C-alpha cells in the first residue's frame, strides 16, 4: 500500500469488518447507490455466482471482453495480497489513488455499510469513473441478498456450481443453496448453468422460468450429451486428447487450450463462453475467435497456479471447501505424483468443512505441514495434525519455509485449504507487500 490517502480509508474499512462482520441484505446498498447517482445503472455487467468457479469464470469472461476490444471491469473477492485486487480495470488492479477516490465517495454517503458493501459500492463508483464498457461482477456469498445483487438488467447471469458451503447462511441442501443463488436471475436476461446435480438443477430451472429469464443454457453433465428441450439448451464441453477444451454451443464450436489449468476449468470456460454467446451486445458477435483467444489468454492467480521457488515446484490452489478440494485432488493425481513426492501445506478456517477437505487432500502427500490462516478463527493446526500426521506451525510463511526444506527438486508442494493461506504464502514466495486479511 503506497498512497498515504488510502491508509486511513483502509483502516476505517478494517474497523467496519471487525465491528459489523457480515450482514446480508440490500437496503443499505440501494440507499447508498441512489446517493451516489446509481453508477451501477450506467454500465453493463455480467453477474456470476457459484459455490466454486465463479471467480475463474469471471476472469475468463473479462479476458474475452478485452479481446473484443471493450474497456473492462472485474470485481471479485476476497483479495490474495492487495485490497485493490478486488477491483480491476482492463485487467490491472485499481491504483491506490483511484481506490481512495472511490472509497472517499462511498464512506461519505454510507456510514452504516459493512466492509463488503463498501468495497462493492467502491467498485461501481470506480468502474463508472474509469468509463468501463463491460464489467464482470462476482457474487460474494449466495446471490439473493448478496450486496452485488443490485443489477436491474445485467447482460447475463450464471451459476457455475452448487455445493455445501456457507450453510448457516444459505441452507444445508443443494436445493436451498441453488434457490438463493438463483436470486440473480432477471426477466429476459440470459441464464447459464454449470453442470449442476439434479437437486440444484431442478430449482435453478424453476426459478429461471418463474422470473422469465431467457435464453437458458446449461453445460451438459458427463455422459449427458447436447439437447434442446423447450426453453433449455444443453451444450457440451469436454477435454480433447491433445489437452485442448472443446465447447459446442448452439451454432458455435470452439476448440482451444485454456489459460487456466485443471479439468474443472473446462466447465467454467463453457459458462463464460455461453454468457458471451447469449448476450445481445453486437460486438460480441465476432465469434468464435474472441472466445478462443480470450479463454487462452485468461489468468487467475492462486488457482492451480504453479510457482518455482528455490528450484522446487509449488502448486497454489484456493480450494477452501470439499468440492474444491476434490477437484484439486483429482488434478494432483492426474499429474502422476505419488504421495512420497508430494508435500502438503494445509490450513483452513474453523467454520469450513476442513475434515472433509483434509480427507481428500491428506492422502496425496506423505509429508504435511499445517498452518493457521489469518482472517476468521482458524481450525487449530494441532487438530489437523491429529487427523493426518504432520507438522503444525503458527502461520503460512513458516509453513512454506518448512515445506521447501522438506521437498526435493523432483517433488511437488501443494498449498490449499484457505484462500487466505494461499494469499499469505504467495506473497511470501513472490516478495509481495500484503494488505491485512479480511475474511469477506
The per-residue pLDDT for range 404-425, each reduced to its tens digit, is 999 999 999 999 999 999 999 9
Write phi, then psi, for 265 (nearest 5 degrees): -75, -15
Mean pLDDT, range 55-68, rounded to an integer: 96
pLDDT at 131: 97
Is pLDDT above 60 for 154? yes
CA distances from 210 to 25, 176, 183, 206, 314 (A): 22, 16, 11, 6, 47
The percentage of residues in the chain with a pLDDT greater than 90, rounded to a whole number, is: 78
Query: What's the pLDDT band for 230 if we cut at 50, 70, 90?
Result: confident
Residue from 146, 134, 127, 143 nearest 191 by CA = 143
Q: Which residues pair with 232 in a beta bridge?
A: 216, 229
CATH classification (class only), 6-297: alpha beta
The per-residue pLDDT for range 348-397, each reduced to its tens digit, is 999 999 999 999 999 999 999 999 998 789 999 999 999 999 999 999 99
Query: What's the pLDDT band for 8 if we cut at 50, 70, 90?
Result: confident
Q: Grid coordinates standing for 97?
A: 489513488
pLDDT at 397: 94
Residue with cell 460486438: 283
The per-residue pLDDT for range 65-89, each reduced to its tens digit, is 999 999 999 999 999 988 889 999 9
Tell me how crowded residue 357 is: count the other CB atoms within 10 A of its CB: 27
Assign domain 305-430 one CATH number from 3.60.10.10, 3.90.190.20, 1.10.10.10, 3.20.20.70. 3.90.190.20
Question: What residues does each domain of the chain span?
Answer: 6-297, 305-430
Mean pLDDT, range 111-125, rounded to an integer: 94
Q: Where are the alpha helices (DSSP H) in 21-82?
A: 27-35, 54-67
Q: Grid coordinates standing for 427?
A: 506473497
Query: What's the pLDDT band for 282 if we cut at 50, 70, 90?
Result: low
Mean pLDDT, range 308-336, rounded to an integer: 94
pLDDT at 286: 60
Q: In the β-sheet with 367-370, what is the strand arrangement from edge to edge?
A: 305-309, 312-316, 412-416, 342-346, 367-370, 391-392
Write phi, then psi, for 259 (nearest 5 degrees): -70, -25
Q: Where are the alpha helices (DSSP H) in 78-236?
A: 96-109, 115-129, 167-170, 174-181, 198-211
Strands 305-309 and 312-316: antiparallel
Cα distance from N-terminal residue to C-terminal residue, the chain: 19
Q: Are 260 and 298 in contact (CB under 8 A)?
A: yes
Q: Grid coordinates standing for 93?
A: 488492479
The percentage of residues in the chain with a pLDDT greater than 70, rounded to a whole number, is: 96
- Virtual CA dihedral for 289, 65, 293, 427, nearest 10 degrees? -170
Instruction: Give strand ranges (E) for 250-383.
Output: 252-256, 305-309, 312-316, 342-346, 367-370
Mean pLDDT, range 423-430, rounded to an integer: 94
Between 101 and 286, the more confident residue is: 101
In 147-186, which positions are buried (b, 16+ CB within 10 angstroms) versus exposed (e)? bbbbbeebbbbbbbbbbbbbeeebbeebbbbbbbbbbbbb
Q: Grid coordinates standing for 39?
A: 453508477
Amino acid at each position: 500500500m503506497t498512497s498515504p490517502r488510502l491508509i486511513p480509508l483502509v483502516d476505517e474499512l478494517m474497523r467496519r469488518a471487525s465491528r459489523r462482520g457480515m450482514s446480508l441484505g440490500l437496503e443499505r446498498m440501494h440507499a447508498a447507490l441512489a446517493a451516489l447517482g446509481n453508477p451501477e445503472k450506467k454500465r453493463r455487467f455480467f453477474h456470476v455466482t457459484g459455490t466454486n468457479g465463479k471467480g475463474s469464470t469471471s476472469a475468463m469472461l473479462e479476458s474475452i471482453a478485452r479481446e473484443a476490444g471493450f474497456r473492462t471491469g472485474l470485481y471479485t473477492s476476497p483479495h490474495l495480497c492487495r485490497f485493490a485486487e478486488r477491483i480491476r480495470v482492463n485487467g490491472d488492479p485499481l491504483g491506490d489513488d483511484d481506490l481512495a477516490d472511490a472509497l472517499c465517495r462511498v464512506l461519505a454517503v454510507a456510514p452504516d455499510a459493512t466492509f463488503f458493501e463498501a468495497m462493492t459500492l467502491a467498485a461501481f463508483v470506480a468502474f463508472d469513473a474509469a468509463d468501463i464498457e463491460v464489467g464482470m461482477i462476482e457474487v460474494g456469498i449466495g446471490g439473493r441478498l448478496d450486496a452485488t445483487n443490485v443489477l436491474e438488467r445485467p447482460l447475463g447471469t450464471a451459476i457455475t456450481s452448487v455445493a455445501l458451503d456457507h450453510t448457516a447462511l444459505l441452507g444445508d441442501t443443494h436445493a436451498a443453496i441453488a434457490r438463493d443463488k438463483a436470486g440473480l436471475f432477471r426477466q429476459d436476461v440470459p441464464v447459464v448453468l454449470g453442470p449442476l446435480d439434479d437437486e440444484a438443477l431442478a430449482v435453478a430451472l424453476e426459478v429461471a422460468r418463474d422470473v422469465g429469464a431467457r435464453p437458458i443454457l446449461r453445460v451438459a453433465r458427463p455422459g449427458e450429451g447436447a439437447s434442446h428441450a423447450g426453453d433449455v439448451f444443453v451444450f457440451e464441453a469436454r477435454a480433447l486428447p491433445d489437452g485442448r477444451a472443446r465447447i459446442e454451443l448452439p451454432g458455435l464450436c470452439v476448440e482451444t487450450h485454456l489459460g487456466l489449468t485443471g479439468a474443472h476449468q473446462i466447465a467454467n470456460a463453457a459458462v463464460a463462453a455461453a454468457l458471451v454467446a447469449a448476450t445481445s451486445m453486437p460486438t460480441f458477435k465476432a465469434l468464435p475467435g474472441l472466445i478462443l483467444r480470450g479463454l487462452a489468454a485468461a489468468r487467475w492467480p492462486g488457482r492451480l497456479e504453479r510457482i518455482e521457488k528455490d528450484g522446487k515446484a509449488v502448486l497454489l490452489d484456493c480450494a477452501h471447501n470439499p468440492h474444491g478440494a476434490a477437484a484439486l485432488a483429482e488434478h494432483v493425481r492426474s499429474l502422476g505424483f505419488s504421495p512420497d513426492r508430494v508435500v502438503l501445506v494445509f490450513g483452513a478456517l474453523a467454520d469450513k468443512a476442513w475434515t472433509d477437505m483434509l480427507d481428500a487432500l491428506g492422502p496425496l502427500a506423505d509429508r504435511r505441514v499445517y498452518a493457521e490462516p489469518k482472517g476468521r478463527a482458524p481450525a487449530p493446526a494441532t487438530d489437523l495434525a491429529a487427523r493426518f500426521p504432520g507438522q503444525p506451525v503458527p502461520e503460512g510463511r513458516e509453513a512454506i519455509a518448512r515445506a521447501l526444506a522438506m521437498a526435493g527438486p523432483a517433488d511437488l508442494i501443494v498449498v490449499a485449504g484457505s484462500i487466505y493461506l494461499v494469499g499469505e504464502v504467495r506473497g511470501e514466495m513472490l516478495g509481495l507487500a500484503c494488505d491485512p486479511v479480511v475474511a469477506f
